[in-house]
A = this chain, B = another copy of it.
Amino acid sequence: MISEEKLQKYQDWIFQISAYQMALALISIDKMTVAPPAGGPYRDARTAWLSGEKFSLETDPEMFRLLQEMKDDPDLDGDTRRAAYLYWRKASHTICIPKEEFVSSEELTNQAYDAWYRAKMADDYSLFRPYLEKIIENKKKFYGYRGSSASIYDQMLDDNEPGMNEAKYDAFFADVKGRLIPLLRKVCAAAPIDTSFLHRNYPAAQQKKFTEEHLLPYLNYDPSWGYQNETEHPFTYWTCENDCRTTTKYLPDNVTAAIFSTVHEVGHATFEHDIDPKYDGMILSEGVSAAMHESQSRLCENYLGRTHAFWEANFPALQAEFPDQLGGIPLDDFVRASNAAIPGLLRLEADELTYPLHIVIRYEIEKDLFDGRIGTEDLEKVWNEKYREYLGVEVPNSRDGILQDVHWCEGSFGYFPTYALGSAYAAQIVHKMREDIDVDEALRSGHYERCMNWLKENVHRYGCRYDAPEIIRRATGEEFSWNYYLDDLERKYTELYHL
């Protein structure tokens, strides 16, 4: 029986961690949206120190013992035991790291973000490489402290998606490559779909107007709890209960990029907004597995946002904003173009079919990097070779190649695979959703919330009360299978390209 006093201490501890978390989230959002660059070094040093204060709390030995006790205490309710377990698991991964090393690694990743941004703008990987080198060194050292018998990359995969490892992803990606590369080759050999009108001149200010005045309201992204800004690399952050921040990036030569990125990020946002409020202030309302999170954003982006029904509701407003560019384009042509599979350089702008191949490339590179088969000096060469091999495209520069993604400068490895896995979760979930409700009718008639309500009831509300496989079981009545995903893609593209 754990004393009331100890439980109160636990509550205070959670609150204190969440206070640092909120501050650090706001600092980070600010940095990636509007912060003046010359302040960077001064902010970064202080941010790292604050991260250290949070780290001290999270790895407090006394609290670690209490969590250990709590997670197995049959007198506590299941929610509390689960929350204690999740805090304990997180602490068990970091308690072995010396605080000074943690703090300097935090400062490094903050500096690395600026270095990445500068390198990307200068189109010069060599400006970023020294930072990446040190980040990888730190990661190896920190994972070494854990003393696990699993490989570092296995541990990274498990951290992002509990239960996953190289063997499981290898099997998944073998199927992805085995089925989608041949399909893509057939698509590329077929009569191409005209997408040229998507790439006319679409001024950013007008895209923003369409997004803010039409799209966000359609998606029920409510300004009372969510705010959207712009950044180099779109993201979603929850700073605390009822406070979500999303970002997008408007590309003047691509009218759908910011739209699908917005639908994607608002998918993330809605997920956490819909978590059962009884979990507020517990870890259960955050820290959901990465693939589960991506399943919800990618479900919104691809299985809702790219449908004909979605555009029946939204295309007229887009046309009205861009009469010269889209006035003469029939709806059907626009929807076909928005779904066309065209091998390209950028993951963020990729279509549904080529997207998982962008992920395979990153997965294989990360695996080789941490298993010691390649070093940072080989990255750009390997990257470009794989793009040629899997997607048939030549990478002309670093900016749209090795430097396109923000993840590595943040020390985030083992995350990319969750985008593909999440897409596969999404396919299975949406299959069940379509059995239960008329998704197309909901989208067509401006009732996006009907889809969200189904997701809330069957997926969102759980937060991370259960691991992903259990949530999929509850939502769909079946074990997870990626066949839904690959079957869907085969069916969709066979039809779209009349293969």
Taking the closest CB of chain B, its distance from the CB of A315, in whole angstroms, is 26
Partner of A35, one of B20, B39, B53, B243: B243
- Kindly list chain B residues whose C-beta atoms are within 8 Å of the C-beta of A35: 227, 243
Q: Does A37 contact B (CB under 8 A)?
A: yes
Given A22-B46, A30-B30, A50-B19, the answer on whether A38 and B239 have CB atoms closer than 8 Å is no
Taking the closest CB of chain B, its distance from the CB of A104, in whole angstroms, is 15
A243 engages B26 (CB within 8 Å): no
- Bound-state CA distance A85–B36 (Å) is 31
- The bracket for how many chain A residues form the interface is 35 or more
Q: Does A445 contact B (CB under 8 A)?
A: no
Q: Determine the residue in chain B with the shortest Cβ distance to A12.
A: B49
Given A23-B27, A49-B15, the answer on whether A224 and B43 have CB atoms closer than 8 Å is no
Partner of A38, one of B26, B34, B46, B225: B225
Q: Does A92 contact B (CB under 8 A)?
A: no
Q: Does A458 contact B (CB under 8 A)?
A: no
- Bound-state CA distance A46–B24 (Å) is 12
A224 engages B36 (CB within 8 Å): yes
- Kindly list chain B residues whose C-beta atoms are within 8 Å of the C-beta of A392: none
B18 engages A226 (CB within 8 Å): no
B227 engages A43 (CB within 8 Å): no
Q: Does A240 contact B (CB under 8 A)?
A: yes
- Kindly list chain B residues whose C-beta atoms are within 8 Å of the C-beta of A24: 23
Which chain A residues in 30-55 approach chain B with CB under 8 Å? Answer: 30, 34-39, 42-43, 45-47, 49-50, 53
Q: Does A244 contact B (CB under 8 A)?
A: yes
- Bound-state CA distance A26–B45 (Å) is 15
Q: Does A229 contact B (CB under 8 A)?
A: yes
Q: Determine the residue in chain B with the shortest Cβ distance to A280.
A: B42
B34 engages A46 (CB within 8 Å): no
B38 engages A243 (CB within 8 Å): yes
Q: Does A212 contact B (CB under 8 A)?
A: no
Q: Determine the residue in chain B with the shortest Cβ distance to A205.
A: B205
- Kindly list chain B residues whose C-beta atoms are within 8 Å of the C-beta of A19: 46-47, 49-50
- Kindly list chain B residues whose C-beta atoms are within 8 Å of the C-beta of A483: none
Q: Determine the residue in chain B with the shortest Cβ distance to A48.
A: B19
B34 engages A229 (CB within 8 Å): yes
A38 engages B242 (CB within 8 Å): yes
A224 engages B37 (CB within 8 Å): yes
A46 engages B15 (CB within 8 Å): yes
- Bound-state CA distance A45–B281 (Å) is 12
B242 engages A34 (CB within 8 Å): no
Flag A421-443 by CB within 8 Å of B: 1 or 0 each: 00000000000000000000000
B27 engages A240 (CB within 8 Å): no
Which chain A residues in 433-475 approach chain B with CB under 8 Å? Answer: none
Q: Determine the residue in chain B with the shortest Cβ distance to A273.
A: B38
- Kindly list chain B residues whose C-beta atoms are within 8 Å of the C-beta of A15: 45-46, 49
Q: Determine the residue in chain B with the shortest Cβ distance to A225.
A: B38
- Bound-state CA distance A430–B20 (Å) is 45
Q: Does A16 contact B (CB under 8 A)?
A: yes
Q: Does A241 contact B (CB under 8 A)?
A: yes
- Bound-state CA distance A16–B56 (Å) is 15
B36 engages A240 (CB within 8 Å): no
Partner of A225, one of B39, B223, B225: B39
- Kindly list chain B residues whose C-beta atoms are within 8 Å of the C-beta of A224: 36-38
B36 engages A244 (CB within 8 Å): yes
- Kindly list chain B residues whose C-beta atoms are within 8 Å of the C-beta of A37: 224
- Bound-state CA distance A153–B480 (Å) is 69
B240 engages A42 (CB within 8 Å): yes
- Kindly list chain B residues whose C-beta atoms are within 8 Å of the C-beta of A239: 39, 43
Q: Determine the residue in chain B with the shortest Cβ distance to A226.
A: B36
Flag A233-253 by CB within 8 Å of B: 1 or 0 each: 000000111111000000000
Flag A336-379 by CB within 8 Å of B: 1 or 0 each: 00000000000000000000000000000000000000000000
Flag A206-238 by CB within 8 Å of B: 1 or 0 each: 000000000000000001111101000000000
- Bound-state CA distance A47–B26 (Å) is 12
- Bound-state CA distance A34–B16 (Å) is 24
22 pairs of residues in contact across A and B, judged by CB atoms under 8 Å? A15-B45, A15-B46, A16-B49, A19-B50, A20-B50, A22-B42, A22-B43, A23-B23, A23-B46, A23-B50, A35-B243, A36-B243, A37-B224, A38-B224, A38-B242, A39-B225, A39-B239, A39-B242, A42-B241, A42-B242, A43-B240, A46-B240
Known: A30-B30, A53-B53. 10 other contacts (CB 8 A): A15-B46, A19-B50, A22-B27, A23-B24, A23-B27, A36-B224, A36-B226, A36-B227, A39-B239, A39-B240
Closest 4 CB pairs of A and B: A39-B243, A19-B46, A38-B242, A23-B23
